[in-house]
A = this chain, B = another copy of it.
Amino acid sequence: MVDIIHRIGIKAPLAKVYEAVSTAKGIAGWWSETTTGESKLGGAITSVFHAPDGKEIGRMVFELVKLEPGKKVQWRFTAGPEEWVGTDLTFDFSRDGDQTLIVFGHRNWREAVEFMAHCSMKWATFLLSLRELAETGTGRPSPDDLKIDNWN
């Protein structure tokens, strides 16, 4: 099993960052605009991705398997790209000075395929989008997300 891990600091209150990764409304502000579902422990959330021309290019479903306010949020993918099913997203929070720090993980990939390299780069840009959302009120969710390569 292999993991993508990133670390980012956000100049915003921890509660605000926590909300942005633990509720459908928050996630819609930085990952995919089209995000709906139940924002509670065990709840299922669906994020749909579209190309700029409106065509659906991805549909991810995950459960909120851990919600520990101020500490940790964990998603588990139940549908989406075949490589993602059964993988987990983890957000571990701490504070230092004026920053909320996140250690982010997309964990338990079966192998380090080229698509994982794409996703690692893409998650980094989505974490920058999350920071923009928390610091300024406006993120850059799909379909307005930064394109990074020929796979989107």
Contacts and interface: CB of A to CB of B under 8 A. Distances in A.
Interface of A: 2-9, 96-97, 99, 101, 103-105, 112, 114, 116-118, 120-121, 124-125, 127-128, 148-151
A2 B96 CA distance: 27
Given A2-B2, A114-B103, A9 B148 contact: yes
A6 B8 CA distance: 17
Contacts of A99: 149-150
Contact of A112 (B3, B9, B104): B3
B9 A149 contact: yes
A31 to B, nearest CB: 16
Nearest to A147: B9
A151 to B, nearest CB: 8
B117 A103 contact: yes
Nearest to A148: B8
18 contacts: A5-B112, A5-B116, A5-B117, A5-B120, A6-B120, A6-B124, A7-B114, A7-B117, A7-B120, A7-B149, A8-B121, A96-B150, A97-B150, A103-B114, A104-B117, A120-B124, A121-B124, A125-B128
